[in-house]
Chain A
Amino acid sequence: GAVVSQHPSWVICKSGTSVKIECRSLDFQATTMFWYRQFPKQSLMLMATSNEGSKATYEQGVEKDKFLINHASLTLSTLTVTSAHPEDSSFYICSASFRGLDYGYTFGSGTRLTVV
């Protein structure tokens, strides 16, 4: 079945540094990838939608200059948290879709970001 690989699974960084999270579709081409943020005991909040070869569409309230998304190929999307601060600490999850298969999106295993 469709597999989405997300890396790293956890990262600790110093305040002010940038962190890159990768999301890869392993056995299918993902025309669209989604990035979510999840706080403890809360649901998934969509941050942005990225389409291969075009600029990402950010949800209201999400700073596009802080959360840089690149979807350079049909199998890779990256989320870079720039100048991270402690309030950016969260669980970040990507998902990917390929129209033509079932419409249930496949999720990565998530990245736990801790900014100290």
Chain B
Amino acid sequence: GQQLNQSPQSMFIQEGEDVSMNCTSSSIFNTWLWYKQDPGEGPVLLIALYKAGELTSNGRLTAQFGITRKDSFLNISASIPSDVGIYFCAGLNTGGFKTIFGAGTRLFVKA
């Protein structure tokens, strides 16, 4: 079945540093989504990408939909302690409705 490879698995950074994480797949997706999950909570949508090559920002977050439609990255600039959490990429083919999730990137920010 379809799988997403998300990296890195975890990151330990200093407050103020920039962060980059990415997802790759052997399959093509029509939509890429990035979520953040805090402990004991459901994932919250950060950014949705609908077109190959699309670059979208949400505050300090920037995500891009790869040209090949098989990858996406998420950047966080000037990290702050509340950025701590698990970030999931997700790929979606609208025809099938199913969302495929990456394994997640655990972000730790040291003040």
Contacts and interface: CB of A to CB of B under 8 A. Distances in A.
Interface magnitude class on chain B:
20 to 34
B41 A103 contact: no
A43 B101 contact: yes
A106 interface: yes
Contacts of A103: 31, 33, 48, 50, 92, 94
B97 A42 contact: no
B88 A110 contact: no
Given A34-B99, A49-B97, A49-B98, A108 B42 contact: yes
Contact of A43 (B44, B92, B94, B103): B103
A103 B34 CA distance: 12
B78 interface: no
A89 interface: no
Interface residues of A, number: 23
Interface in B15-64: 31, 33, 35, 40-45, 48, 50
Interface of A: 4, 6, 32, 34, 42-44, 46, 49, 91, 93, 95, 97, 102-110, 112
29 contacts: A6-B42, A34-B99, A42-B104, A43-B88, A43-B101, A43-B102, A43-B103, A43-B104, A44-B43, A44-B88, A44-B101, A46-B98, A46-B99, A49-B98, A93-B43, A103-B31, A103-B33, A103-B48, A103-B92, A104-B31, A104-B45, A104-B48, A105-B99, A106-B45, A107-B42, A107-B43, A107-B45, A108-B42, A110-B42
